[in-house]
Amino acid sequence: MFFLMALAMLSGCVNVDQAPQMPVVTVMPTDLPTITPVPTPVVQEKSTDVKVMPYNDNGITDFSYVKDTNNQTAPQSESITIVLRNDGVTEAKDVYVLLTETDGHTGDLLYQNKYLVGDLPRGKPTFFTMQTGHPLAQSVYMTVGIQWGESGEFTSPMTYVNLAKSTLY
């Protein structure tokens, strides 16, 4: 056996002088991930300070709709105007109106959006118009909720409007 190894070394087939080469892996330290604090959940307090005034049609002062069958994404749209008022002791910060529209016949959700109204001063009625866009429906049932506060900490215990409107031609 020794003879075969010596013969192989002399012929240049095996190089016994060098150790086999191993790949070198260099591990570099990486930056530690940034720790994001867990958000503190906001416990919403019920308050009737901000409300929809019961003008005209359950709080809707103006309602109009357009049907456009050429519009593929939202062939029906409405313009809905309500009047908000802050009866609280101080200005209401970051007031949002939450509009939900469902199909008056099938109950399917048509549209839902959270509209930023802004800050409402105490005692001053504020007209606010919402624009919608959704699939065609013969009638829409609308509800409005209200949320306010710098962190959304206040919400109205009432659901306003609660009204179905026909949108037939």
Instruction: Provide the H-helix boundaries in 12-62.
Output: none
Instruction: Decide if pLDDT at 66 tops 90.
Output: yes
Give domain status of residue 155, yes or no: yes
Query: Which of 169, 146, 161 is CA-nearest to residue 82?
Result: 161
Quote the CA–CA distance of 2 and 8 in Å, as a whole number.
10
Q: What is the pLDDT of residue 57?
A: 84
Provide the mean pLDDT of the chain: 84
Say if residue 59 is exposed, middle or buried (CB neighbours under 10 Å; 0-12, 13-18, 19+).
Answer: buried
Please indicate whether residue 101 or residue 10 has the higher confidence score (pLDDT): 101
Give domain status of residue 151, yes or no: yes
Q: CATH number, domain at 73?
A: 2.70.50.60
Instruction: Please give the tally of structural domains in the chain.
Output: 1
> How large is the average pLDDT for residues 32-58?
83
What is the value of pTM for the model shown?
A: 0.72
Give domain status of residue 8, yes or no: no
Give domain status of residue 23, yes or no: no
**End-to-end Cα, the chain, rounded Å:** 102
CA 142: distance to chain centroid? 19
Q: What is the pLDDT of residue 16?
A: 54
Instruction: Decide if pLDDT at 126 tops 70.
Output: yes
Q: Contact at 8 Å (CB) between 95 and 50? A: yes
Instruction: Decide if pLDDT at 21 tops 70.
Output: no
Give domain status of residue 113, yes or no: yes
Give domain status of residue 79, yes or no: yes
Confidence of residue 74 (pLDDT cuts 50, 70, 90): confident
Domain around 114: 45-166
Give domain status of residue 59, yes or no: yes
Instruction: Decide if pLDDT at 5 tops 60.
Output: no
Name the region of 24 (left: φ>0; alpha: ψ -120 to 50; beta: rest).
beta
Confidence of residue 56 (pLDDT cuts 50, 70, 90): confident
